[in-house]
Structure formats: C-alpha cells, structure tokens
Amino acid sequence: MSAKTRYDRLSSDRSQFLNVARQAAELTLPYLVREDEAYTKGAKNLITPWQSVGAKGVVTLASKLMLALLPPQTSFFKLQVNDINMPEELGPEIRSELDLSFAKIERTIMESIAASGDRVVVHQALKHLVVSGNALIFMGKEGLKLYPLNRYAVDRDGNGNVIEIVTKETISKKLLKKFYPEYKNPSTESVSESSNYRDDECDIYTHVTRDNNRWIWHQEVDGEVLPRSMSKAPLDANPWLVLRFNHVDGEVYGRGRVEEFIGDLKSLEALSQALVEGSAAAAKVVFTVSPSSTTKPATLAKAGNGAIIQGRPDDIGVVQVGKTADFQTAYQMVGSLSQRLSEAFLVLNVRQSERTTAEEVRMTQLELEQQLGGLFSLLTVEFLVPYLNRKLNVAQKTGEIPRLPKGDIVKPTIVAGINALGRGQDRESLGQFITVIAQTMGPEAIQQYINPDEVIKRLAAASGIDVLNLVKSMDERQAEQQQAMAQQQQMMAMQQEPQLAAVDQKREQAAMQMMQQQQVPPELPPPVE
C-alpha cells in the first residue's frame, strides 16, 4: 500500500479534529491551521479576530510551557545510576566520580541545545498544541522540523502507542530533481517557467512505521519510493515526536486548550464585534438641514473651522446615536469573559523577573500541573524524555560525549519533570540537609558525621562545575599535610637549636668546674733561708 493511500485513509479519522482545530485557530492565531485548498505561495488574507484575548492567552501559555520544558540557564534533567544493580565492590567514591561525569555530559547537552534553534521550533509546536492539541516534530541532522496537524496523520494501538506516521509535504519539482537526480518520473520532468506554480510542484509523502524494536521510514512521490530515502532509528531514540495536549482514551489525536474554552471565545468574539460596530455607529455624527431652510448643505459641508456662512442655526440639527448606555451589559459580559479566559490561559499570573531561576521554573511547573491537570507530566513523557534520548544518542554518535555504559550494572536513567528539576534540586536538598543537621545536633556534628570530600563532589555535580584541577584530591591534601608537618618540625628544630647550644655550654662549664675541684692543689715551694 502506497504512502498516499495510507495518508488518505488515516485522514478520515483526523477530519473531525482538524475542523475543530481550524475553528480554534480562527479565534486565536489564524495562521497556525489553514485550509489546504487555500494554499498560495504568497501571503493569504486571513480572518482577523475581533478580540485579542485568545491570541494573548495562547502565546502566554505556550511561553510558560516553554519555560517549564526547556528553561534557559537551568539544567532541566540529570543522569542517574541504577543503584539496585550497582555492585558493592565499586564503592561510594566510584558513584561520586560517575555523578561528576554525568554532570559534564549534561553540561554538554545543555550547550548543544542552547547553540541550536530547537527552542524556536519547540515554542511554535507548543502554540500548535494549545490551539489544535496536536503537533509533530522531526529531529533531523539540520535541526527540528515542525509538522502541523493538517500535514500529518497518525495511527496508534490500543494502549495509545504510536505505530504509524504519514506526513505530506508540497515541494518544488526542481528541488526534488536537485536532491534526487537519479529519480526519473514523467510528472517531475514537466517543469516550465510559464506554467502555473501548482504544475511545478508535487506532493512528497513520508511513511514511518514501527518494526519490532526500531523505527523505519521512507519517502514516496507518485507511489514510487525515492532512492536513498530509507532510514531507521532505535526504538528508544525515535526522531519522530508525536505530541498531544490532552488525550482521551480511545482517540488517536489530542484536544487543545482552546477547544475546552471555545464557547467563551465564540461569545467574546460576537460581543466584541457588536461592541466595535456599535461604538463606531455611536461615534458617527450627521448634520441635518431643514428642507425649507435658506442654509445650503453644500455651503455647510465646505465651510471650514471658523468660517462665516449665511443661514439660521435653528435650521441645522445634529443626529447622533444615543445608545451608549445600552452597551453597559455587553461591556460587563466582555469583562467577565476576558477574566475567565485570562485565568484559563494563566495570563494573570505572569511573573516579572530579569533572570530565570530554578525556583521560578519549579513554581511555573507546579502551576501548570495544578491548573492544567497533569499536562506537564504528559509532555514530559511524550516530548521531553524522547527528546533527551535522541539528543544523547546523536551526541554519542558524533563523539560530543563519551559512550554511556550499557547493561544492568550501570544504567543511566533520565529523570525529568517536576520530580527532579535538574541538579539544582539536588543542591538545595543537600544544603537543607546539612543545615538541619547543624541546627539539630550542633555544628560539631557536621565535622563528626559529614564527609567533606563527598559534600564538595556533590555540590560541584549539582552546580554543573568541572572539578578538574579545581578541587584538591585526597593524595594532594595528604602530601601537603606531610609537607606542612615536615616544615613545622624543621622550624621547631631551628627554634630549639640556641636553647640546646646554651644547655650544652652550661654543661661544659659545670664539667670544667667539677674537674677543677677534683684536682689537688700544687705544693708550695719551701721558704728561702
């Protein structure tokens, strides 16, 4: 079965969700989901909503989701070692060294994400999720690529797992011949400069299927497989990320946030249109002239400010719609609807800060989890973890990071989401732990029970700091201690040398005196007669 045939069959199940997505886009951001029939190369005049609450709500909610999923300047994931299968003979010091190595890998991945344009595509995908409830991201070599709901179809099994994806793209035949010169097809050869641009374009389909423990895909044009388009990827490193905002059991596609409040948006749209048109009518001023008046309407219309014309003021009247008081009910209803929608899209809780901190990211995640009923957890499973797995897989193949150990002995595990917001949570937890010990058992308990080497290593890993040539090793500290002790002994010996010399001198003097006392005095010569 060709990819086009499969796409057409899967599109029948997508039509209902696509219609709702178009309605939601018309009330918020019309450019997100458009009609395929209205495709043009140039700009298309889109329907402009009468209110901006929907557009502001979509952008704000997408920005908050972006801050929670891919926060800047903050590590949002960490690699852990499987403690259950870790052998005891490795020792705790090996665990610390692995933790430091994992922190270095995390730093490399964060730098790779910051240097790429992933955040731009992810933010656009999040807006699609809020509006249409569905989005597809392909993680290619050149970066991320977004597919809106009207450009792909998907199929799932009974457990909700994706088993098949078919995408549709419209490309130029010249571009197809450039990248696939060996592909020969009569439909692609008929390219003329004077023909309609639709005649110079063709539809290319990408068919993705799950085959046991891997994903395979290829591209087709007019039912023929393009050469060199076959690709595959491991099951745990799938580059095709099918995202949903909210999912209902038994449904293949997701439902967006806008669909949940589409009634309020439609009411606000109608009231806003009525208020704008009514206000324009109320602001219109028309002058009337009595038919029997000598004042000519043409003279009155041409008269400038301060001009003097001939006529009677009583013959001139002003007609103005005096129904502004009737707008009060509509104004109140518009205010109430705007308030409800602002709360629904978290517009009222925008935090103002110059620098994004880990605490702010955690508060945003908790807010999203509380207000949106587990949405962040769903995006963590369907987007964040597969995204990180793919990033790690590509980084290992390109040599940016070393190969991670395989098997059950040392198995890296990705922990993401509210449960563990990167290593900033580890740093704060470690600081609180040491503070509680000092407050409960006294400061001396820290020196008695806490290993300073392990504390330094864990703080460095939590802060994302490379301790190479920064923190002294145990051998270096022992060598410095021995050197300091030797210097101290040498100084003490130098200080004791004068004292010892004085003692020796006194001993010599005492010995001389004793020898002199023991000697017999010489006999005196006899007196001379």
Summarize pLDDT for 402-425 with one digit per residue, the tens: 887 766 555 566 655 554 444 455
CA–CA distance, 451 with 95 (Å, rounded to integer): 14
Whether 380 is in a domain gets the answer: yes
Written as one letter, the residue type at 473 is: S
Q: How many CB atoms lie within 10 A of CB 134?
A: 29
Whether 54 is in a domain gets the answer: yes
Confidence at residue 38, expressed as pLDDT on a 0 to 100 scale: 45
- Say whether pLDDT at 255 is over 90: yes
CB–CB of 488/126 below 8 Å? no
Residues 6 or more apart whose Cβ sits within 8 Å of residue 417: 365, 376, 377, 380, 384
Whether 116 is in a domain gets the answer: yes
Which residues face 290 on adjacent strands? none
CA–CA distance, 13 with 7 (Å, rounded to integer): 10
Residue 121 banded pLDDT, cuts 50, 70, 90:
very high
Q: Read off the pLDDT of residues 423-458 as tens digits, 9 standing for 90 and up.
A: 455 666 777 778 888 888 887 777 777 877 777 777
Whether 363 is in a domain gets the answer: yes
**Among positive and negative, which fits the CA dihedral 285, 290, 293, 299?**
positive
- Say whether pLDDT at 3 is over 90: yes
Confidence at residue 194, expressed as pLDDT on a 0 to 100 scale: 44
Lowest mean pLDDT among 104-113, 227-236, 364-373: 364-373
CB–CB of 152/136 below 8 Å? yes
Q: How many CB atoms lie within 10 A of CB 327?
A: 15
Tokens of residue 87, six digits: 């052998």
CA–CA distance, 514 with 430 (Å, rounded to integer): 73
Instruction: Give the mean pLDDT of 89-112.
Output: 77
Split into its structural domains, the chain has a count of 1
As separate numbers, helices (DSSP H) first and strands (DSSP E) second, the chain gives 17, 13
Q: How many CB atoms lie within 10 A of CB 147?
A: 21
Q: How many CB atoms lie within 10 A of CB 352?
A: 4
Question: Quick one: angle between helices 262-283 and 328-344, nearest 10?
Answer: 140
Structural domain span for residue 359 = 1-36+47-161+177-182+226-270+333-422
Q: How many CB atoms lie within 10 A of CB 131?
A: 34
Q: Read off the pLDDT of residues 260-319 as tens digits, 9 standing for 90 and up.
A: 999 999 999 999 999 988 888 888 888 888 887 778 888 888 888 888 888 888 888 888
Could you tell me the pTM of the whole model? 0.75
Whether 118 is in a domain gets the answer: yes
Confidence at residue 430, expressed as pLDDT on a 0 to 100 scale: 74
Greatest Cα pair distance, the chain, in angstroms, is: 189
Residue 188 banded pLDDT, cuts 50, 70, 90:
low
Which residues face 285 on adjacent strands? 320
94, burial (CB in 10 Å: exposed 0-12, middle 13-18, buried 19+): middle
- Say whether pLDDT at 477 is over 80: no
Place of tokens 């669909």: 259
Whether 122 is in a domain gets the answer: yes
Instruction: Give the mean pLDDT of 54-60.
Output: 95
Report the SS3 class of residue 156: strand
418, burial (CB in 10 Å: exposed 0-12, middle 13-18, buried 19+): middle
Lowest mean pLDDT among 100-104, 117-121, 122-126, 324-328: 324-328
Confidence at residue 250, expressed as pLDDT on a 0 to 100 scale: 87
CA–CA distance, 217 with 515 (Å, rounded to integer): 112
Confidence at residue 473, expressed as pLDDT on a 0 to 100 scale: 66
Whether 105 is in a domain gets the answer: yes
**Among positive and negative, which fits the CA dihedral 381, 382, 387, 392?**
positive
CA–CA distance, 528 with 433 (Å, rounded to integer): 106
**Among positive and negative, which fits the CA dihedral 103, 108, 109, 115?**
positive
CA–CA distance, 500 with 493 (Å, rounded to integer): 10
CA–CA distance, 30 with 131 (Å, rounded to integer): 10
CA–CA distance, 147 with 169 (Å, rounded to integer): 9
Whether 347 is in a domain gets the answer: yes
Residue 195 banded pLDDT, cuts 50, 70, 90:
very low
Q: What is the mean pLDDT of the chain?
A: 80
Say which residue, 13 or 43, is predicted with more confidence.
Answer: 13
